[in-house]
Structure 1
Amino acid sequence: MFRIALVAACFLLAVQSHPIEDLLQQPEEGGQIWAVIIAGSKNWYNYRHQSDVCHLYHLLTKKHGIPKKNVITFMYNDIAFNEENPHQGVIINALHGKDVYEGVMIDYMGKDVTPQLFLDVLMGKDMEFGSRKSLKSGPKDTVFVNFVDHGGPGVLGFPAGELHVADLTKTLQTMYMDKHYKQMLWYVEACYSGSMFDELSPDMNITAHTASNTKESSYACVKDEEMDVYLGDCWSLNWMNNTEQIYPNLSKETVEEQYEIVKNMTTHSHASIYGDLTYIYKEPISVFLGHPGSAIEVEPVSDWDYIYKPIPSQDVMMEYLKSKRDKSFDVEETEKLDAEIRYHILTEGKVQEVLDQISRQVTGSREMDTVFSRHPQTIAHPECNKGVLSAFFSQCYKMQTHPYITKYLYRLTNLCNAYNVKNIVSAVTDNCNCN
């Protein structure tokens, strides 16, 4: 109880107090820089997502000069004081061995980290939760959005829900029509993250960098052996590392240049870019990431036991369970972990069987089933994609508790390119109710 009270007190203090630098603005032709940063996961084995966001918060506010009142942070906040954390109250990121949790003002945490609340904040709606901060940007302002979590074809994960490409696209269109920004830059770390922006119009003054293309996993990197977790995501570590290497000269590297540099650094997934590749492409990254002063801050050299080990994000949970089981000397705990591992191994196979049954019911033949199961196709019907995946997540298996299922979800989304959404959802219901 004391720990919970302490965390709550620190949160309220952070929300209610703004240092004097927050009253200052870095004008860009009369506008301001706004940032919305979000870790969309929970649970200890997803440590890296909150670690990346905490590190970024300090980069944007402490080093890059963006006022804290202009940075809106979503984070479940179950890592720093997690019972498995040997360093209570501390979160570290792979780039440096220092604590990145201290001083982070979390505006929305726990049950408030939802897709709808995230979209409401983006649209600048008046909020009644958390810190009540919202994106109050206007036609002269630039907006930077960073999302870090799991993803699937046309979907991004949240602790207890999903953000679908259909809903994100509508929100971005509304923001554009309402002149809610001058230019907007998205950096998205998730599997299949390219599928969220593959059809993004180049005429809305939005550019999106993604950790992976439309058909592949993103990767976790840098394992801490003591804590048995990954401290960052490969692509996110690469772009933040590049930003720190050129600090404080952010005005001398363009969005295009950073994209090309980070794409070459990211060797296990295909970093991709979408949207406006004309104007924003040529802007200095300082337009979105802040205008540092001239004083260079030297970061301490890390003394933590890191192992650079890229792994598909979909497989991190299973590796964590197996590693924990190998290190366990408690018979009861070992038996429990063995049972959990067996469950997930069997479930991954069962998911593929269920998808076989759904596809055959919808297509009516093994031959057509083969066509739609061969490889991921473009998401041509986002509303169908949303309806089908929502049905599967609610009636079959959830992405948050079974992250490995994202390897196979394209088999459902492919069906939307040729079949009626009602028929597909009906097949999902029929086959999931039998399992």
Structure 2
Amino acid sequence: MARVLLFVAVVVCSLLLLNGAHAAQEKNWVVIVAGSNGWYNYRHQADACHAYQIVHSHGIPDEQIVVMMYDDLAYDSNNPTPGILINKPNGPDVYNGVLKDYVGNDVTPENFLAVLRGDAEAVRGKGNGKVIHSGPDDHVFVYFTDHGAPGLLAFPNSELYVQDLDKTITQMYQQNQYKKMVIYIEACESGSMMVNLPPNVNVFSTTASNAYESSYACYYDYDRGTYLGDLYSVNWMEDSDQKDLSSETLQQQFTIVKEKTSGSSHVMQFGDLSIGEMKVIEFQGNNKVPAAAAASTVSTKPFEDAIPSPDVPLAILQRQLQKEENENLANTIRQKLHELVEIRQSMQQVVKKIAEMATYSEEQKTRILNGQSLLSQHACYEAAVVAFKNHCFNWNLPKDAASHVEGLPRTKLIRHVVPTPLLTTNCSTIILIRVNTFINQLFLDYHFYIVMNLCQKECYPFSCSIFCCFLRLIK
């Protein structure tokens, strides 16, 4: 009998040791990305810094967190509090202690995907070279905030296309690089990045908007002259600040954020919805660490001044004009407003001209300009976007142009393939005003559908190639 009891004791102890070893190997990894730069985009890096503070305070060690942000704001000349960034009015400093793994020109789609894949060789000599080393028992939480358009997310100097993100997720799944993964995306048309996410790759995602609409900025700050946060983002982060994440589920957080964001954009969920029943702490924290003390519970209402992201440059100028008492400075602001409106109108004329030349009837043109369709011709779409960017308007020019152009139309033209040769004529021949001063972010966060609409069915019988994606612009 004694031997039996001894045997049972040994087995139990062995199992406990195995379970303990297994549990010790489980890790939570976090990747946080702010894809913009420039003062008028303040909110994106403030969002990212706030997200870092949440996961850090809830017990995820820095060696398991990767942060990518341009890091040009804390000591910007426009910052009335050098070295401090806030994510809501009178809020705490979210910049202090934040990781800076990849900054400046190292914030790229290629580095982001390499970080996810754990490809240290691909980021050798870039940033600090940190990647996540997630394994089959680990959870991964990804948060991205910036501008977007159908099928793409913006980075400071380039774009991440949905097919490249899909490929990376699939590769990670096939190579057992995670047990469960959660992705939160703040961007216009962010739903288009996840709408085809399969339910069988153990990924759950929520997005700030559906595939056809803008996301919203919020918390305008007169002292800083910019918006401090994005509505979807501050809603999930303020919820994480105040709730017990060991008891709240991802689905509950989604429901709260969706309700608080309603009336602005449609917060969406995709992928394996069963993951939504898991606790938030399983991705945004560490179960072994006591719940962090709630941040300030002072009631805030970010929805009160929420505004579509495309209208941020216009709204900033209008608010500056309202506050400005010096008539000379007020006239300067009025001139900037006038130029912004002129450029929007001119861009709309270019888009209309392209649509007229690319279609065969008024009905077809109207459908292209006003219709909604999901992206399917990915290769053609990317080629068309690149060609349009190279030959017409480059939305990644220096930050001094950014505040004037974000609201220009995202064209729908590339959604349907155009059966005509590659665009070669300089688009500035159609624009009679100083376009080159205002061509940063001109498509992103407005109506990029026209570009995508022309990259779908119309040209398919002619085959889809880079030479099929664009028409010539003639004076």
The normalised TM-score by structure 1 is: 0.86
From the superposition, tell whether residues 349 and 421 of structure 1 become closer, same or farther in structure 2 (CA, over 3 Å).
Answer: farther
Deviation, 1:289, is 0.9
Q: Partner of 1:414 in structure 2?
A: 453
From the superposition, tell whether residues 96 and 276 of structure 1 become closer, same or farther in structure 2 (CA, over 3 Å).
Answer: farther
From the superposition, tell whether residues 411 and 313 of structure 1 become closer, same or farther in structure 2 (CA, over 3 Å).
Answer: same
Residues 21-420 of structure 1: pairs in structure 2 closer than 5 A: 30-62=25-57, 64-94=58-88, 97-126=91-120, 127=123, 128-247=125-244, 250-267=245-262, 268-278=264-274, 280-291=275-286, 293-294=289-290, 296-300=292-296, 308-328=304-324, 334=330, 336-399=332-395, 401=402, 402-404=405-407, 405-406=409-410, 407-418=446-457, 419=459, 420=464
From the superposition, tell whether residues 175 and 350 of structure 1 become closer, same or farther in structure 2 (CA, over 3 Å).
Answer: same
CA–CA distance in structure 2, aligned partners of residues 46 and 374 of structure 1: 28
CA–CA distance in structure 1, aligned partners of residues 67 and 21 of structure 2: 20
SS in 1 for 2:37: coil
Deviates more, 1:405-414 or 1:69-78: 405-414
How many residue pairs match? The answer is 403
List per-residue Cα deviations over 1:227-262 (Å, max 9, x = no partner).
121111111111112212213xx1222222211121
From the superposition, tell whether residues 301 and 411 of structure 1 become closer, same or farther in structure 2 (CA, over 3 Å).
Answer: same
Deviation, 1:208, is 1.1
Q: Partner of 1:425 in structure 2?
A: 469
Residue type of the alignment partner of 1:82: D
Deviates more, 1:376-385 or 1:415-424: 415-424
Residue type of the alignment partner of 2:451: L
- Is the CA contact (8 Å cut-off) linking 1:223 and 1:306 kept in structure 2? no
CA–CA distance in structure 2, aligned partners of residues 307 and 262 of structure 1: 12
Deviation, 1:110, is 0.7
SS in 2 for 1:252: coil
CA–CA distance in structure 2, aligned partners of residues 158 and 338 of structure 1: 30
CA–CA distance in structure 2, aligned partners of residues 175 and 295 of structure 1: 30
- Is the CA contact (8 Å cut-off) linking 1:415 and 1:424 kept in structure 2? no
List per-residue Cα deviations over 1:254-296 (Å, max 9, x = no partner).
2222111211111211000111123x12221121111363365
CA–CA distance in structure 2, aligned partners of residues 281 and 305 of structure 1: 26
Runs (5+) with no aligned partner, structure 2: 1-19, 397-401, 411-445
CA–CA distance in structure 2, aligned partners of residues 269 and 392 of structure 1: 28
- Is the CA contact (8 Å cut-off) linking 2:231 and 2:303 kept in structure 1? no
The normalised TM-score by structure 2 is: 0.79
- Is the CA contact (8 Å cut-off) linking 2:261 and 2:303 kept in structure 1? no
CA–CA distance in structure 2, aligned partners of residues 110 and 316 of structure 1: 23
CA–CA distance in structure 1, aligned partners of residues 83 and 66 of structure 2: 21
Q: CA RMSD in A?
A: 2.6
Residue type of the alignment partner of 2:40: Y
List per-residue Cα deviations over 1:344-403 (Å, max 9, x = no partner).
212211222222222222223322111222222111222222222222223222445432
Deviates more, 1:254-263 or 1:47-56: 254-263
Deviates more, 1:195-204 or 1:417-426: 417-426
- Is the CA contact (8 Å cut-off) linking 1:29 and 1:140 kept in structure 2? no
SS in 1 for 2:55: helix
CA–CA distance in structure 1, aligned partners of residues 185 and 243 of structure 2: 21
CA–CA distance in structure 1, aligned partners of residues 195 and 28 of structure 2: 26
Residue type of the alignment partner of 1:269: S
From the superposition, tell whether residues 305 and 312 of structure 1 become closer, same or farther in structure 2 (CA, over 3 Å).
Answer: closer
List per-residue Cα deviations over 1:121-169 (Å, max 9, x = no partner).
1111112211110121111111100000111111111111111112111
Deviates more, 1:398-407 or 1:387-396: 398-407
SS in 1 for 2:286: coil
From the superposition, tell whether residues 192 and 374 of structure 1 become closer, same or farther in structure 2 (CA, over 3 Å).
Answer: same
Runs (5+) with no aligned partner, structure 1: 1-24
- Is the CA contact (8 Å cut-off) linking 1:97 and 1:304 kept in structure 2? no
From the superposition, tell whether residues 295 and 229 of structure 1 become closer, same or farther in structure 2 (CA, over 3 Å).
Answer: same
- Is the CA contact (8 Å cut-off) linking 1:224 and 1:306 kept in structure 2? no
Give the fraction of aligned pairs with identical amino acids, expressed as a percent: 37
